[in-house]
Amino acid sequence: MSISWYLLVSAAMFGLGAIGVMVRRNPLVILLCLELMLNAGNLALIGFARMWGNGDGQIFAIVVMVVAACEVAIGLGIIVALYRRRLPVDVDELTELHG
């Protein structure tokens, strides 16, 4: 298979993740859709690493995975803290930072 097919799959995944972030209201599901977008980036990085035939892109993908794990830890911590304070777990009702 040519590399461009992998990149097209990656583009479709990124678009789906973007739709999810825009449509869904539950912050948990929004985090999941962010994961989709990060993984689309990972697939593109690894496709390009295969295209060039060296491993630098794979290192990039591993760093992206680390960043995603950190984001998940912090995001889920915030969601648990919201739940503890009996705040609605809904991004449309959380408008405390609304200017």
Partner 1 sequence: MGFFFVVFGVVALAGAVGVVVLRNPFYCVLSLVVHLIALALLFLLLEAQFVAAAQIVVYAGAVMVLYVFVVAYVGGGDRPAALWRASARQRALAIAFGAAVFIELSIAILGSGLRALGTGGPDVPAGFGAPAQIGELLLTRFLLPFELASFLLLVAAVGAVALAGRRGGLGEDRDLSPGRSTLDLPIPAARGTMAEGVAGYGVTTPMPDPEYKGRKLEEGEGV
State which of positions 48-67 bind partner 1 (CB under 8 A).
Answer: 49-53, 55-56, 58-59, 61-63, 65-67
Q: Can you tell me the distance from the alpha carbon of 78 to that of 74, in angstroms, rounded to the nearest whole number?
A: 6
| DSSP-based three-state secondary structure for 96 | coil
What's the min distance (Å) between Cβ of 44 and partner 1? 9
Number of residues located near partner 1, criterion CB under 8 A: 74
* Residue of 83, 94, 97, 99 interacting with partner 1 (CB under 8 A): 83
**Residue 45 phi, psi (nearest 5):** -60, -45
Residue type, position 59, single letter: I
Spatial distance between the Cα atoms of 41 and 20, rounded to a whole number of angstroms: 16
94 binds partner 1 (CB under 8 A): no
Q: Is 97 in the site for partner 1 (CB under 8 A)?
A: no
Could you say whether residue 34 binds partner 1 (CB under 8 A)? no
